[in-house]
Structure 1
Amino acid sequence: MGRSTVQKRLSAPRVYAVPRKPRHGRFLTKVGPGPHPKELGIDLVTLLRDYLRSVSNAREALYVLKNRYLLVDGVVRTEKSFPVGLMDVIEVAREGKVYRMVPAVGRLLHPAPIPDSEKGLKISMIRSKVTVPGGRVQLGTHDGRSFLVDDPDAYFVGDSLLIKVPSQEIVSRIPLEEGTTALVIGGERLSSLGKVVRVIPGSFSVRPAVELEIGQERVLVPKELAMPVGMPEPPVTVRWVE
């Protein structure tokens, strides 16, 4: 038997901000392989129908995909199970609308409308750094991208990259350091923006953390949940505020 292509609404990952009751239909399209894990991504049918509300049902969503009207990070996507996630740029060509998937209060992914001037830019957070044959360094980011760089001391895990899409050209590095603006991408402070006060190294028994100044408060968040987005201010839209 092949892989199941549907997912029950009731047991869908928490990242799905959709109604769970049967009157809305029992099933969703199941997220397939792609740049985001299933716990952090949503499929294209749900994106078009429930998030963007560009279509009213799955059949219309498949029509949009088949006719190559949907672009993710500047690339046409036609596979209904392709996952979209944090900071992805979504363009519906036939409508002339562009969105960025950003956090909002209570949910990781919300399609925030953005101007055309932003659709060619994206922020990707560095999750891994390894040396490859030839002495070059390969960076892996939260959205499944890989970058080969020559200077091993110029980039660190936890930093972010401002890149051009779809060319994947690095525009600049956004370091995780004092004075940087960071976006909280998980936990009870989800979608909050704050200034980095200090980065606290981890140890064998203590996870690394970041102290952020959010409004008049200073809070600690796990390092992996503090995404650098600007030095000092974000160059693109990074969250949704109602």
Structure 2
Amino acid sequence: MKNHLKRIASPRTWLINRKSNIFITRPRPGAHSFQHGISLGVVLRDMLHVASTMGEAKKILNTKNILVDSSRTRDHRRIVGLFDVISLPDIEEQYRMILDTKGRLDVIEVNAAESTRKLCKIIGKTIVKKGKVQFNLHDGKNIVSDKEARIGDSFVVTLPGKEIESVLTLNSGAAVFLVYGKHSGDVGVFKEFKGNDALYTKDKMDVETSKKYLFVVGSRGKPLITIRKE
């Protein structure tokens, strides 16, 4: 597989300058899709602006303590995706990968306390040994737990481990984030299901979308984490 792709052919969700250079670093296949993930080197250079070239980004990764979800990585092609936490301990800065109001990948700075928690959507469930349940999460993690949760709910996971702090249930009043479709990037309050679709409220207006586009980010209409730039 090629290490680069043409900027002009990159996913629309990548918040990059498509005319500055012909090519951009292709992320290594991993936990996220290309639609919801971008290479760490590009994040450091084009989004956080801590490097001016990819060579500088590689040097930073090899000599500095750069963390993704509290684990050090040196791979500039490591794919970083939705709700991943990028930490730069040397300058005491932490960022979360989000979608902006136009559905494009962006980073938002968060405080140290918030950087130790991550929201993970449950996308599958499997019965494993001794009848326990393995939950398959949107970022590629698999967690075995006796927590009561359904596909479509979200776990609040502590970092760097995979301990489940709590469950955010997709029920009436839940704060939801739209991660696909024409409303991608919206934040609203879940109202009800309508078959395979769902209704959520935004700015006192009901909006209908596919229920698989919803990501639970809080309860009682309030997001648990910061997902918007001030």
Matching residue of 2:108: 112
Matching residue of 2:23: 27
Matching residue of 1:48: 44
Given that 2:64 and 2:90 are in contact with CA atoms closer than 8 Å, whether structure 1 keeps it comes out as: no
Deviations 1:58-104 (A, max 9, x none): 11100111114211110011111110011011112222211111111
Given that 1:128 and 1:140 are in contact with CA atoms closer than 8 Å, whether structure 2 keeps it comes out as: yes
In structure 2, distance between residues paired with 1:7 and 1:94: 31
Query: The residue matched to 1:196 in structure 2 has which SS?
Result: strand
Q: Which ranges of structure 2 fall in alignment gaps of 5 or more residues?
A: none
Given that 1:15 and 1:42 are in contact with CA atoms closer than 8 Å, whether structure 2 keeps it comes out as: no
- Tell me: CA distance 1:125–1:108, structure 2 relative to 1, closer, same or farther (3 Å): farther
Q: How many matched pairs?
A: 229
Q: Quick check: 128-137 or 115-124, which moved more?
A: 128-137
Matching residue of 1:180: 174
Matching residue of 1:199: 193
Which among 74, 82, 88 is matched to residue 84 of structure 2?
88
Please report the RMSD computed on the Cα atoms of aligned residues, expressed in angstroms.
Answer: 1.4
Using the size of structure 2 for normalisation, the TM-score is 0.94
* CA-CA distance at 1:122 after TM superposition: 0.6
Amino acid at match of 1:119: S
Given that 1:108 and 1:186 are in contact with CA atoms closer than 8 Å, whether structure 2 keeps it comes out as: no
Amino acid at match of 1:74: S
The structure richer in strand per residue is 2
In structure 2, distance between residues paired with 1:84 and 1:211: 30
Given that 1:103 and 1:185 are in contact with CA atoms closer than 8 Å, whether structure 2 keeps it comes out as: yes
* CA-CA distance at 1:188 after TM superposition: 2.5
Matching residue of 1:204: none
Amino acid at match of 1:11: A
Query: The residue matched to 2:199 in structure 1 has which SS?
Result: strand
Amino acid at match of 1:100: R
In structure 1, distance between residues paired with 2:103 and 2:15: 7
Matching residue of 2:207: 219
In structure 2, distance between residues paired with 1:40 and 1:184: 12
